[in-house]
Structure 1
Amino acid sequence: MISNNNDRLALVVGATGGVGGAVADRLLAGGWRVRALNRDPETARRTSGRAGLEWVKGDAMIEAQVVAVAKGASLVVHGANPAGYRNWAGLQMPMLNSAIAAAKAAGARLVFPGTVYNYGPDAFPNLTEDRPQHPVTRKGAIRVQMEDALKAASDDGLKVLIVRAGDFFGPKSTTNSWMASGLVKPGRPLTSVMYPGPLAIAHSWAYLPDVAEAMVTLAERNDLGAFEIFHMAGHTVTGEALVAAFSRVAGRKVNVSRLPWFAIHAIAPFNETMREMLEMRYLWETPVLLENAKLTARLGAEPHTPIDEALRETLTGLNALPVAAPRLAA
């Protein structure tokens, strides 16, 4: 294991986001010093709701700045992601290249959250770490390019850990989350859910604190190879089961409607976020299930918060659940 002394330092790029923020929280809880890169650190300090982070000024697009703030770190967590799916082609690779350069200069391991975007239908339904990556979308092609860059950097001496999971959700979810921006209306007590796919099809969800626990627990091990990929199963549930869980947590029957894809089709030519959402429709029309045998073999068990508890924390964080919501029987 990595030393447990107070000198352990991690740099988190994207600490105001869902994955980066959850990993930062978990690192702090584990006794790490956590340095968080942000273009406006004073605003991030006031608004992030995360005490204990060492906010430093820097732009993830500027390699020299990221290299400078990574000095002394043994982990670099790359959690940066363009908001609203916008300009992936222009932002994703430059930001990742900055993180790669920073981790190399510091001699740190780079931790990266993987997605299912990398895969096309030829790999479905059961995704193991060795399934072929033949993306059918622009975002998927970019994600494959990013992982190829990480593998090339690993061949050149960088230590890399990729943890792949399903759709993220959690108490501090961002607008990049399907649950926070599609299924649920933040700031309103939950009465209905807008679901993107057929209710009978299983879909993989990943609770952010569980993902962070897996990432940090793996990163602290001393038996990792130079380039490691692990898949998390998360919560694999049908739409029907998810709506039933929402109802239990809300203490009332939650109505469900289908996402109006026809309207997204109509808006997509004029709205980049809608165009990017439309690309992802195929992931809702068939089961996409992540196999976690490699993860459980290494850790013994996957971190797994019961779904009702995970949804309750998420809805409370989104201000979408009354504080005193009654609980329906399971």
Structure 2
Amino acid sequence: MGRIAVFGATGAVGKSVAAAIRAKNEPYRVIGRSRAALDAAFGNDPLAQIMTWDPYETHSVVAAADGIDTIIYVVGVDYDKFELHPDLMRRTIEGAVAAGVRRIVLLGTVYPYGIPRTATVREEHPRDPHTFKGRKRKEQEDVLLEADKQGRIEATILRVPDFVGPGAEKSFLDGVFKAALKGSRATMVGPIDTPHQFAFVPDVGKLLVTLAQEPKARGRAFNFAGSGVTSQRDLAERIYGATHHKFKAMVAGRNTLRVMGLVSPMMRELVEMSYLHTKPVLLDDTALTELLGSVPRTSYDEAISKTLAQLRAKR
């Protein structure tokens, strides 16, 4: 396959993308802002070429993309700085085009869909975000898709639900795993009985690499429904059960988040996205399955087992 660079490589998904490429015994490039974090994650991998970048400097983007065929873009920003998403994508496209990159594969989210109008959401569902974060992620997608339409670069988007799995520290379930290991009470954002989907991080990495090699994915966005419909409560009970502790939690609803937001910027930012806990966006990935024939879906029980093993090893 063509040379791939992972932009935003030190996050959980970036590491999973790298693992998927490594499994093919192919060389790849990892890009991030922190050399120390890159060295810690990939310093022992002879297949990995490590490079740092400044996404606000065109020459730095060009250097990071030089000699690369495909960029898998999993760059994250702080939850209170979503206005950066469209601008960072514009700058990345400019540098990538100058460097001769053929394709960008973007890791997307459910945010651009806004409040769902159907029980399950397919790709043709209107993208009508009512939140600031949703509008900025839609704008990011539009920037990339317009570049594809203009023939400047090929674009593919994979929209995924919340994450579960090793290293997914920004997942709603991360605190549950850590509390379960200690047998303490978890703090959860609720309601927690609402239907929900989670994607196992390594499955997402494999899919991004597969889409990077699929010509028929050009100019299209695809949903990935993860490992199926469940709920936060169901998974939390399974997690506690796997640690032989009784499930116990303090559940924070929208009003509680507002109060907690007075002292916690992260909780304050969660308020506008709380609709996802009452009006969930449940993705339909029929189009993705039809394109690829099959998609990886690690069972939730296996995902829980592997995540707990990683956390125990880390401790």
Pair in the same fold by TM > 0.5: yes
- Whether the aligned pair in 1 keeps the contact of 2:183 and 2:246 (CA below 8 Å) is no
Give the deviation of 1:186 after TM superposition: 7.1
Equivalent residues, number: 310
Separation in 1, partners of 2:261, 2:4: 39
Separation in 1, partners of 2:158, 2:13: 11
- Aligned pair in 2 of structure 1 residues 51, 187: CA closer, same or farther (>3 Å)? farther
Secondary structure, aligned partner of 1:110: strand
Separation in 2, partners of 1:260, 1:318: 27
User: Hey, what does 1:326 align to over in structure 2?
Assistant: none
User: Hey, what does 2:284 align to over in structure 1?
Assistant: 291
User: Hey, what does 2:194 align to over in structure 1?
Assistant: 201
Identity of aligned pairs, percent?
30
The correspondence for 1:134, drawn from 116, 124, 128, is: 128
The one-letter code sitting in structure 2 at the alignment partner of 1:28 is: R
The one-letter code sitting in structure 2 at the alignment partner of 1:234 is: G
- Whether the aligned pair in 2 keeps the contact of 1:191 and 1:255 (CA below 8 Å) is yes
Give the deviation of 1:312 after TM superposition: 1.7
User: Hey, what does 1:328 align to over in structure 2?
Assistant: none
Give the deviation of 1:228 after TM superposition: 1.5
The correspondence for 1:178, drawn from 144, 158, 172, is: 172
- Aligned pair in 2 of structure 1 residues 189, 47: CA closer, same or farther (>3 Å)? farther
Structure 1, unpaired ranges of 5+: 323-330
What is the Cα-based RMSD across aligned positions, in Å?
A: 2.4
Deviates more, 1:190-199 or 1:72-81: 190-199
User: Hey, what does 2:38 align to over in structure 1?
Assistant: 45
Secondary structure, aligned partner of 2:163: strand
- Whether the aligned pair in 2 keeps the contact of 1:19 and 1:113 (CA below 8 Å) is no
Deviates more, 1:273-282 or 1:128-137: 273-282
- Aligned pair in 2 of structure 1 residues 32, 190: CA closer, same or farther (>3 Å)? farther
User: Hey, what does 1:281 align to over in structure 2?
Assistant: 274
Separation in 1, partners of 2:81, 2:247: 35
Please state if 1:233 is matched with 2:225: yes
Separation in 2, partners of 1:246, 1:161: 34
- Whether the aligned pair in 2 keeps the contact of 1:11 and 1:73 (CA below 8 Å) is yes
TM-score for both structures, normalised by structure 1? 0.85
- Aligned pair in 2 of structure 1 residues 247, 187: CA closer, same or farther (>3 Å)? closer
- Aligned pair in 2 of structure 1 residues 124, 316: CA closer, same or farther (>3 Å)? farther
Secondary structure, aligned partner of 2:29: strand
Q: Deviations over 1:221-265 (max 9, x none)?
A: 2333x3121111113202332123213422343223312544431
- Aligned pair in 2 of structure 1 residues 247, 184: CA closer, same or farther (>3 Å)? closer
Give the deviation of 1:136 after TM superposition: 1.4
The correspondence for 1:10, drawn from 4, 19, 24, is: 4
